[in-house]
Amino acid sequence: MDELVLKQVTELAQTWLGEAYDAETRAEVQAMLEKEDKTELIDSFYKHLEFGTGGLRGIMGAGTNRMNIYTVGAATQGLSNYLNKAFADLPQISVVIGHDCRNNSRKFAEISADIFTANGIKVYLFEDLRPTPEMSFAIRKLGCQSGIILTASHNPKEYNGYKAYWNDGAQIIKPHDVNIIDEVGRVKPEDIRFKGNKALIEIIGEEIDEAFIEQIKTISLSPGAIKQQANLKIVYTPIHGTGVRIIPACLKAFGFTNIIPVPEQNVVSGDFPTVVSPNPEEPAALNMAIEKAKETDADIVMASDPDADRVGVAIKNDRGEWILVNGNQTALLFIYYLITRWRETGKLKGNEYVVKTIVTTELIKTIADANKVACFDCYTGFKWIAAVMRELEGKMDYIGGGEESYGFLPEDFVRDKDAVSSCALMAEITAWAKSQGKSLYQLLLDIYVEYGFSAEKGISVVKKGKSGADEIKQMMANFRSNRPKEIAGSPVIMAKDFMNLTAFDPQTGETTALDMPDTSDVLQYFSKDGSKVSVRPSGTEPKIKFYIEVRGTMKRRDDYEKALAAADVKIKAVMRSLGL
């Protein structure tokens, strides 16, 4: 063990025994100091949990590198300081506070409410747990300047987090993010105003739920199909989280009458007792729901993550087997349905657009192009989709936007991914398909037949510690300086580098500028046969991520298995090309 690190950590921990900290925190720190094994002490104090562009996220406990009332308090105090500067001309600044099911989420929400009000800011505090998209909706509905949600999304149970939003209901981007980070960085424990003004706290709940659901109902495009298929068998699980009441209520408001719960997972719990990970991207998280679907011969399975912004879907194939729909396919189904129904109902006027992240399937662009709908690419993360929406507000009509990591937004009155509206809309798509004599699985295959087949694979290579971080940096440098000339035998026809915002055409030797709002450490390669490879280091974990997409053809539904097998061979060849 590095004695210098231990000495520094011990000195920092001892400052947490002072009067600025409460008795419970001091006792927890004292216990860590007295333990013979110093691992926990070092992990808790070796760095400061940084308020980054996505807010805070970390393991709960005492220490500078942990989620606790002081790290949350400093974030709220810093955000309060910035709001009071940014909106100094307003007679009353206001914020919305929401939270998920996690342990300590309510406590952190109430402490944050006290700090905001101690700084003269009015707080609309949800009475109980609510989805992240509803908090985003409430900011816009109530005309607030900001909002926060206490959630660690789909992280393991030891974690909690804090996400900050701006007055448009979207997560904060430049210049506000860096300015808030500066403010938070300057806050000392003694600066945090914990003693609130209860007169400035207004509890909200049912009235926002009702307004939110009423607004979501306006996105329905096939009421006739829902009426015809009202008894559609829908298995839904909130995986112990915030979707537990509002998603079934929203499905009923759409007209669905047969929502089948997974009772064990309707238990609200920050311990997530029935799953290893409460993440609908993980196949195991849907196991119980799929078992329930088998018992009840359901039409569709849907699961939302703890803060109900992501949705996972399972459907039956033609052999009656339940299969998982990946994030790219989910986004594809949404975009196909929305554009098709906008066209069929006469809503397409030639001024519409969709948004996808750069690592999401290019089939979305193919569908948009074929229907004369603009398709905008943005970086990974829904704040970038929201940034496009902000830029185009009042100029073009938003149809929908999504990303491969199970997030979709089919409306513009929320500015973050939304599992509440997505579940309602996915049920509607299932009803619409069924009213035409198709299953959702067959609808997906028909999209491939009409627009071409694609298959995607995400690969994360874990490289831990400082040496791992150095290795990831070197891998990115190698890809940058030694551009692949071919991918699985197909020539590279375009290479994009989002760090210096250039696109290079190897055939002409021409370099053009990429129009993006910021730089990002992402590389992309497009080959002649339609394959796409994206490479980026993870912003939150010790990983380098590869996103592979390969294209194929399907002349009829029966070709699907063959197309999948051919894609698997091609993906393996791409991996070999990349040295994976």
How many C-beta neighbours within 10 Å does residue 22 have? 13
Range list of β-strands (E), 37-158: 56-59, 94-99, 122-126, 146-150
| Distance from C-alpha of 180 to C-alpha of 4, rounded to nearest angstrom | 32
| Distance from C-alpha of 97 to C-alpha of 74, rounded to nearest angstrom | 16
SS3 for 21? coil
Contacts 24+ apart (CB under 8 A), 387-396: 387/170, 387/173, 387/517, 388/355, 389/170, 389/355, 389/415, 390/168, 390/170, 390/415, 392/353, 396/351, 396/352, 396/353
Which alpha helices (H) appear in 413-559, and where do they start and end? Answer: 419-435, 440-451, 465-481
Q: Give the type of residue at 485.
A: K
Compute φ and ψ for 196, nearest 5 degrees.
Answer: -85, 175
Yes or no: say if 133 and 246 are a contact pair by the CB < 8 Å rule. Answer: no
What is the token pair recorded at 100?
């998920």
Could you give the count of Cα atoms lying within 13 Å of 186 in the half-sphere of its Cβ? 11
Which alpha helices (H) appear in 297-381, and where do they start and end? Answer: 327-344, 363-370
Return the sign of the alpha-carbon dihedral for residues 246, 250, 253, 256: negative
Which candidate, 70, 45, 71, 43, places its Cα nearest to that of 57? 71
SS3 for 72? helix
| Distance from C-alpha of 97 to C-alpha of 134, rounded to nearest angstrom | 11
Three-state DSSP string of 216-269? HHCCCCCHHHHHHCCCCCEEEECCCCCHHHHHHHHHHHHCCCCEEECHHHCCCC
What stretch of H or E contains 386? Answer: helix 382-392
In terms of DSSP bridges, do strands 94-99 and 146-150 run parallel, antiparallel, or are they unpaired?
parallel
Yes or no: say if 266 and 273 are a contact pair by the CB < 8 Å rule. Answer: no
Contacts of 284 (CB under 8 A, 6+ apart): 275, 276, 277
Rg (CA), the chain: 24
What is the token pair recorded at 289?
């729901």
Yes or no: say if 242 and 270 are a contact pair by the CB < 8 Å rule. Answer: no
As annotated, the active-site residues are 153
| Distance from C-alpha of 272 to C-alpha of 241, rounded to nearest angstrom | 8
| Distance from C-alpha of 435 to C-alpha of 376, rounded to nearest angstrom | 32
